[in-house]
């Protein structure tokens, strides 16, 4: 068991080298779930800063041995077990160690992004400009060797056709993709301000509409209403026909009474009936 702990895949070139003191180095542990290329890049940057002060005093072999040993110290769990299973005297340089490491965890490498990936992007009709520009930046940052002209064309044609930023790019074409990304920040701020103003306007309209609906209605004044006829009496647009009748019999007080004539009353027919004829007048004289 003790022999296995001393067993190492490193060659004597690494194990017998004088290890430089790197000082305080902030290197994250590799968890085995992220891109191994990104981890090696971050490790090289950290080690480069750590060995800068002692670079003149160290040989190339010592620096390379320091890279190998410190890299293994920042492996844990399944990654450390993978390293321990490697053949003895297999690794003699950091380049060999990096190659084996990348091969083992290549399934976690990000696929290379090409120019064609930009042309598959498109902004949705209701997608905020801020969200779309974040998606576009994430893709364009992974494209290697893309020209400003190609990136600008991809950005312009992927924007929503009613976008104000697309109109700006058509009228005032940016010279570089960095210039376009910088301009997009101003349009993002303006778009968000307009959306906030629209929300405030709609809220104000809703409040006004609610106050109108809940306002108590004014009731009519009964004193101002004209007297209405009963429903059982017909309305007449002309003059009313009335006649005056005197009280009958002596000793009875005299009252004027108003008698309404029927609506179908015919005055000419009544006159012909009540007017005395010649025979009637002769008999009356006798």
Query: Measured between alpha carbons, how far is 43 from 24 in angstroms, rounded to an integer?
Result: 13
pLDDT of residue 257: 52
Which pLDDT score is estimated for 26?
A: 76
CA distances from residue 74 to 39, 79, 95, 121, 167 in whole angstroms, order as listed = 11, 9, 17, 38, 51
Q: State the pLDDT confidence band at 41, using cuts at 50, 70 and 90.
A: confident
**Which of 166, 198, 230 delimits the end of a domain?**
198
Q: What is the structure's pLDDT at 64?
A: 87
Sequence-distant (≥ 6) Cβ neighbours of residue 254 within 8 angstroms? 246, 247
Residue with tokens 């790019």: 169
Assess if residue 254 is contained within a domain: no
Q: Is residue 37 situated within a structural domain?
A: yes
Q: Which residue has the higher pLDDT, 70 or 216?
A: 70
Average pLDDT over residues 141-170: 90
Domain boundary among 173, 198, 223: 198
Q: What is the pLDDT of residues 224-242, one digit of tens each?
A: 544 444 444 445 444 444 4
Q: What is the pLDDT of residues 96-143, one digit of tens each?
A: 999 999 888 887 776 666 677 788 899 999 999 999 999 999 888 888
Is residue 62 domain-shared with residue 122, that is, in the same domain?
A: no
Strand partners, 30: 75
CB neighbours of 25 closer than 8 A, spacing ≥ 6? 46, 47, 49, 50, 70
Q: What is the CATH number of the domain that holds 127?
A: 1.10.1200.30
Asked if 93 and 68 count as a contact pair (C-beta separation under 8 A), the reply is yes
Same domain for 45 and 81: yes
Instruction: Tell me whether residue 42 is in a domain.
Output: yes
- The domain boundary, picked from 108, 127, 156, lies at 108
Residues 169 and 180: beta-carbon distance below 8 Å: yes
Among 17, 3, 5, residue whose Cα is nearest residue 70: 17
Mean pLDDT across 259-263: 54
Mean pLDDT of 199-210: 87
Write out the two tokens for 32: 């085995």
DSSP label of 191: H
268 domain-assigned = no
pLDDT score at 56: 58
- Weakest-pLDDT range from 46-60, 68-82, 85-99: 46-60
- 284 pLDDT exceeds 70? no
As a whole number, the mean pLDDT across the chain is 76
Cα(183)–Cα(175) distance, integer angstroms: 12
Claim to verify: residue 154 and residue 62 sit in the same structural domain: no
* CB within 8 Å of 88: residues ≥ 6 apart: 7, 8, 9
Identify the pLDDT of residue 242. 47
Give residue 167's pLDDT: 94
- pLDDT tier at 62, thresholds 50, 70, 90: confident
Name beta bridge partners: 75: 30
Q: Is residue 275 part of a domain?
A: no
Can you name the residues that pair with 244 across neighbouring β-strands? 258
Task: Tell me how many domains the chain contains.
Answer: 2
Q: Are residues 34 and 130 in the same domain?
A: no
Q: What is the pTM of this model?
A: 0.44
For residues 94 and 121, membership in a common domain is answered with no
> How many whole angstroms separate alpha carbon 98 and alpha carbon 38?
12
Confidence band of 155 (pLDDT split at 50, 70, 90): very high
Range of the domain at 132: 115-198
In a domain, 257, yes or no: no
Structure tokens at 99: 């190659």
């Amino acid at each position: 068991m003790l022999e296995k702990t001393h067993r190492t895949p490193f060659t004597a070139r690494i194990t017998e080298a004088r290890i430089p003191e790197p000082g305080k180095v902030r290197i994250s542990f590799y968890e085995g779930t992220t891109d191994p290329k990104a981890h090696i890049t971050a490790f090289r940057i950290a080690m480069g800063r750590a060995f800068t002060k002692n670079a003149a005093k160290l040989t190339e072999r010592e620096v390379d041995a320091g890279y190998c040993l410190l890299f293994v110290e920042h492996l844990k769990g399944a990654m450390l077990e993978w390293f321990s299973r490697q053949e003895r005297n297999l690794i003699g340089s950091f380049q060999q160690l990096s190659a084996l490491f990348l091969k083992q965890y290549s399934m976690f490498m990000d696929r290379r992004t090409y120019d064609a990936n930009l042309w598959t992007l498109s902004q949705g009709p209701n997608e905020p400009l801020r969200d779309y520009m974040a998606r576009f930046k994430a893709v364009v940052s992974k494209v290697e060797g893309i020209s400003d002209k190609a990136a600008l064309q991809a950005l312009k044609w992927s924007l929503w056709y009613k976008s104000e930023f697309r109109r700006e790019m058509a009228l005032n074409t940016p010279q570089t993709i960095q210039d376009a990304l910088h301009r997009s920040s101003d349009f993002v701020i303006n778009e968000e301000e307009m959306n906030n103003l629209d929300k405030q306007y709609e809220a104000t309209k809703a409040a006004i509409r609610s106050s109108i609906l809940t306002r108590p209605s004014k009731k009519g004044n009964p004193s101002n209403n004209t007297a209405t006829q009963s429903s059982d009496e017909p309305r007449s647009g002309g003059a009313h026909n009335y006649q005056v009748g005197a009280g009958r019999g002596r000793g009875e007080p005299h009252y004027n009474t108003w008698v309404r004539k029927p609506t179908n009353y015919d005055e000419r027919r009544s006159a012909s009936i009540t007017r005395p004829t010649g025979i009637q007048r002769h008999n009356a004289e006798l």
